[in-house]
Amino acid sequence: MQLINCAGMCLFGAMTSRLPLVEYFNAVTGWDLSADAYFKTGERILSLRKAFNAREGIRPEDHVLSGRAIGETPLTSGPLKGVTIDMQNLREAFFKTVGWDPITGGPTPAKMKELGIETRYQTGDFKSQ
């Protein structure tokens, strides 16, 4: 989704059809990248956004779902009767999976190194380039 957003593509079209996105991106850019390479690009975009938020002091605890959305008062009937969501454990598992720090919300140093974005964000050198 990050790559689709950055390309200015319509989310509706991307979500409701089988667009040949890799072919589109390669045709527009002149590149010859694989789907995996584009997926990594999207991951880099999202991790840079998270690094920016972490740098600006936005933390995971600043994002709170309503009690109703996570079943703090579980429904008493229907297919989700009695269901609640443990957001803390869900968040921690997700952050671990994607390589983000559960305290800062930004990518871990290892994830930044993997994505090739570590130098500028670790040194705070945001002005060069």
What value does the mean pLDDT of the chain take? Answer: 87
Residue 109 has pLDDT above 70, yes or no: yes
Band of residue 126 on the pLDDT scale cut at 50, 70, 90: very low
Dump pLDDT digits (tens) for 66-101: 988 888 989 999 999 999 999 989 999 999 999 999
Environment class of 2 (CB within 10 Å of its CB; exposed 0-12, middle 13-18, buried 19+): middle
Tens digits of residue pLDDT in 50-61:
999 999 999 999
More confident residue, 128 or 33: 33
Q: What is the pLDDT of residue 12?
A: 84
In the structure, what pLDDT confidence band is assigned to residue 10 with cuts at 50, 70 and 90?
confident
- 8 Å CB contact between 100 and 108: yes
Amino acid at 4: I
Helix (H) or strand (E) holding 5: helix 2-7
On the question of pLDDT at 32 being above 60, the answer is: yes
Mean pLDDT (whole number) for 25-42: 93
Given CA atoms 52, 58, 60, 63 in this order, what sign does their dihedral have? negative
What count of residues does the chain have? 129
* Res. 112 pLDDT band, cuts 50 70 90: very high
